[in-house]
Amino acid sequence: MEPILLPLGISFFTFQQLSFVIDAYKGEVPFYRFLDYACFVTFFPQLIAGPIVTHDELIPQFLDEKRKAFRWDNFVRGMYLFALGLGKKVLVADTFGNGVNWGFSNIRELNSTNAFLVMLFYTIQIYFDFSGYCDMAVGLGKMMNLELPLNFNSPYRAVTITEFWDRWHMTLTRFFTKYIYIPLGGSRKGKARTCLNVMIVFLISGLWHGANWTFVLWGACHGVCSVINRLCKGALEKIPRALQWTATFVFLNVTWVLFRADSIKDAGIFLGRMLDFDFGRADSSLTAAFYLPECQLVDSLIPFTGICPEFFLIAFTAAALFLLFGMRNAHEKMQRFEPTLGRLLVTAVLLVWCICSFSGISTFLYFNF
């Protein structure tokens, strides 16, 4: 059977047009010219990986005459945000992706150390990949004086799964809430119905990501955890926040394995390798994924030899975790943005560095959905 080829990011622009059709059916769409609608559904920055925008967010901006004049302040902000997003994608996500690809291609050969590392690496990769694209989309929009909605707000800092989904892919959560959860009755028909509605939304979310049982199980796990959060909210709030965050972060890491694996069987084998407690050194193929040409140059300039193979793996991981938990996110940076020489240098360095790194094969993870 020949594989079915689908357009890149089909679900994103399909959801965007679904929201327009549903709102039009409900009489919530004012009269727009066909050209206005065409611009809305073909607006390229966020077309194939989000954020998912609605007609009332974007079309009025197209019609605003004040936004049709070039503005240096918006262009500078947009270019800075675009550079940050490009850096997230090319320098961070793609680097960790090399290790992830090796790990999930050699599941049966993994020891526990490699399995734990690959699991963490995918958690890092998927965030920087998707968040990076959205930053670039918002940055491009800002260059054109258009404001796109926030899609990520430091989701790995969430202390519960409910809070995680308030911070992760926020426009998708908004879409499911408005067009599925609320029409099903939302939380207005008692606890049992509310829990059922939550489960339906998460199962649909799993199917949205792909026609594979791994995605269905991933959605079911998040649905069950979200239901438990709702039913046991009072008891969970008594648990120290640090412990809540740890449990949530571990849960996210484990369920991302389901999300990434080709089959439930592969996911089970992968998690089994972690529980074997067969710890040892990281595989040379895994550490090699982080030995980039830039790292080779640094290594050659070190005045002594013998730098351990794991050094760059540890350095990249520590830097990524610091970016996730120790720095303000892009949205927070833009709220206090002022053009400075330092930000100009950061923008220039990131753009040149990323362009010079384009020689490798790279795809956005969410292009598949």
Residue 304: predicted pLDDT: 54
Provide the pLDDT for residue 99: 92
Would you state the pLDDT for residue 104? 93
Cα 11 to its chain centre, rounded Å, is 15
User: Which one of 55, 169, 209, 222 is the catalytic residue?
Assistant: 209
Residues in CB range of 291: below 8 A, 6 or more apart: 299, 309, 312
Is residue 80 included in any domain, yes or no? no
Cα separation values, 287 from 52, 281, 282, 314, Å: 37, 10, 7, 9
pTM here?
0.91
Q: Judge whether 44 lies within some domain.
A: yes
Asked whether the beta carbons of 168 and 51 are under 8 A apart, the reply is no
Type and span of the H or E element at 347: helix 341-356
Question: Would you say residue 40 lies in a domain?
Answer: yes
Contact 214, 263 (CB under 8 A): yes
- In a domain, residue 222? The reply is no
Q: Is residue 22 part of a domain?
A: yes
The predicted structure's pLDDT at residue 105:
92
Pick the closest to residue 198 from 221, 172, 224, 218 (CA basis): 224
Query: CA-CA-CA-CA torsion for 100, 104, 105, 109, nearest 10 degrees?
Result: 110
- Provide long-range contacts, Cβ within 8 A and 24+ apart, for 95-100: 95/289, 95/290, 95/292, 95/316, 96/121, 96/122, 96/124, 96/125, 96/128, 96/289, 96/316, 96/320, 97/125, 97/129, 97/362, 98/289, 98/290, 99/286, 99/289, 99/290, 99/313, 100/125, 100/260
Q: Determine the pLDDT at residue 276.
A: 84
Would you state the pLDDT for residue 306?
54
Q: What pLDDT was estimated at residue 15?
A: 83
Let me know: does 165 contact 202? Beta carbons within 8 Å: no
What pLDDT is attached to residue 289?
86
Query: Residue 189: inside a domain, yes or no?
Result: no
Q: Is residue 42 part of a domain?
A: yes
What DSSP assignment string belongs to 201-221? HHHHHHHHH-SSHHHHHHHHH
Mean pLDDT per 10-residue run, the chain (369 residues)? 62 83 90 89 80 90 90 92 93 92 91 94 94 92 92 93 93 92 88 93 88 90 94 87 95 95 93 87 86 73 64 90 90 83 90 80 56
Number of domains in the chain: 1
C-beta separation of 137 from 50 below 8 A: yes
- Residue 161 belongs to some domain of the structure: no
Specify the pLDDT at position 299.
67
* Active site annotation includes 169: no
The total number of residues written for the chain in this structure: 369
The whole domain housing 25 covers 10-68
Q: 359: buried, middle or exposed (CB in 10 Å: 19+, 13-18, 0-12)?
A: exposed
